[in-house]
Amino acid sequence: MTGGAPNSGGATTDTYAKARTWLLMPAWLVLLVLSLTPVALMLVYSFLTKEFRGGVIWDFSLAAYDQFFFDRGLFGDEPARIEWTYIGIFWRSIWQAGAATVLSLLIGFPTAYFIATRPEKARPIWVFLVTIPYWVNLLIRTVSMKFLLRDQGPLNDFLMFTGLIDSPIHIINTNFAVQLGLFYSYLPFMVLPIYAAVERYNFTLSEAAADLYASKWVTLRRILLPAVKPGVVAGCILVFVPSLGSFLAPDLLGGAKNFMIGSLIEEQFKGNAGNWPFGAAASMILLTLVLIILIMFTRQQAKSNKAGG
């Protein structure tokens, strides 16, 4: 297009500039009221006093955060010590989510790479195959996983039938079961961004590396990986963040021993604990953690975008 008009050619235009306020009004209204206000109210609730059977009393209190971080004894009169229970639950959640992310990366990267190097016409079908299970109800998927992995379940039956094992291997209610469940829940989030990055990758670079005596694996590590790193990082974030706050996989596959943040929070509102301010405080801490990760991620993406021109 000639003329050098800055707003011509692209698909982002100002055709409906005059109507935009009205067009955006419903979205703003719904999301301000039903997404942003609730989060603000949650922050408020985390500073209120608990009522015993759920709900709050409108008195300002730091009790929720205090309970999260400090142990003051049964009657609250002992000197404050660090309370490790909840920090421990957060730590375990981070660890579990991290392990699930590594698992997803180890399987997701080769898968994404393999799909991205199929003939162009076949790629959407492979992507489709990998994403279908994601659209099946998460609860049903997790229940199916539980069914498969049970001590008397089909997996153990199959393994004993083939003679690989003599007695059932115990998978359910272990850390590994939770990691497997999380992997199963969010794998497409790992595959899709890596796939997109590899698809954009210019394989002439690999050829140049091979021409300059780099072996395939050296090429992978030194040339391909740095080029697709933004996609890898995006995939890791997209698996890690929802894993961190997940509820179903730890609840159904992990059992009581493998409590994660999601279950801790759920317990405060639906379970017996009934401590709303504490639940709100735990949610705030989780949200803060997630936002810090997302901000770091956005910064890093912006930087690598700049570096990549």
**Window 23-42: residues binding other proteins (CB under 8 A):** 23-24, 26-28, 30-32, 34-39, 41-42
Compute the distance between CA of residue 136 and CA of residue 104 in angstroms, rounded to an integer. 18
For residue 122 the two structure tokens come to 């076949």
Q: Is 5 in the site for other proteins (CB under 8 A)?
A: yes
Least gap, CB of 12 to other proteins (angstroms): 6
Residue number, 230 or 281, with CB nearest to other proteins: 281
Q: Is 247 in the site for other proteins (CB under 8 A)?
A: yes
Q: Binding residue for other proteins (CB under 8 A) from 64, 89, 99, 115?
A: 115
Residue number, 71 or 289, with CB nearest to other proteins: 289
Least gap, CB of 90 to other proteins (angstroms): 13
Q: Is 65 in the site for other proteins (CB under 8 A)?
A: no
Number of residues that bind other proteins (CB under 8 A): 101
Least gap, CB of 173 to other proteins (angstroms): 14
Q: Binding residue for other proteins (CB under 8 A) from 90, 92, 101, 141?
A: 141
Residue number, 58 or 75, with CB nearest to other proteins: 58
Residue number, 23 or 80, with CB nearest to other proteins: 23
Q: Binding residue for other proteins (CB under 8 A) from 14, 77, 120, 166?
A: 14
Residue number, 2 or 75, with CB nearest to other proteins: 2
Q: Is 57 in the site for other proteins (CB under 8 A)?
A: no
Residue number, 74 or 202, with CB nearest to other proteins: 202
Least gap, CB of 308 to other proteins (angstroms): 21
CA distances from 232 to 77, 105, 106, 150, 296 (A): 50, 8, 11, 33, 15
Which residues in the 73-112 window bind other proteins by CB under 8 A?
Answer: 107-108, 110-111
Compute the distance between CA of residue 2 and CA of residue 291 in angstroms, rounded to an integer. 43
Which residues in the 260-299 window bind other proteins by CB under 8 A?
Answer: 261-262, 265-266, 269-270, 276, 279-280, 283, 286-287, 290-291, 294
Residue number, 132 or 165, with CB nearest to other proteins: 132
Which residues in the 177-236 window bind other proteins by CB under 8 A?
Answer: 183-184, 187, 203, 206-207, 210, 216, 219-220
Question: How does DSSP assign the chain, residue by residue?
Answer: --S--TTSSSS---TTTTTHHHHHHHHHHHHIIIIIHHHHHHHHHTTSEE-TTSSEES----HHHHHHHEE--TTS-SPPEE-HHHHHHHHHHHHHHHHHHHHHHHHHHHHHHHHHTS-TTTHHHHHHHHHHHHHS-HHHHHHHHHHHHSTTSHHHHHHHHTTS-SS----TTSHHHHHHHHHHHHHHHHHHHHHHHHHHS-THHHHHHHHTT--HHHHIIIIIHHHHHHHHHHHHHHHHHHHHT--HHIIIIITGGG--HHHHHHHHHTSS---HHHHHHHHHHHHHHHHHHHHHHHHHHHHHHHHT-
Q: Is 308 in the site for other proteins (CB under 8 A)?
A: no
Residue number, 62 or 139, with CB nearest to other proteins: 139
Which residues in the 144-173 window bind other proteins by CB under 8 A?
Answer: 144-148, 152-154
- Residues near 250 by beta carbon (within 8 Å), at least 6 away in sequence: 96, 178, 181, 258, 259, 260, 262, 263
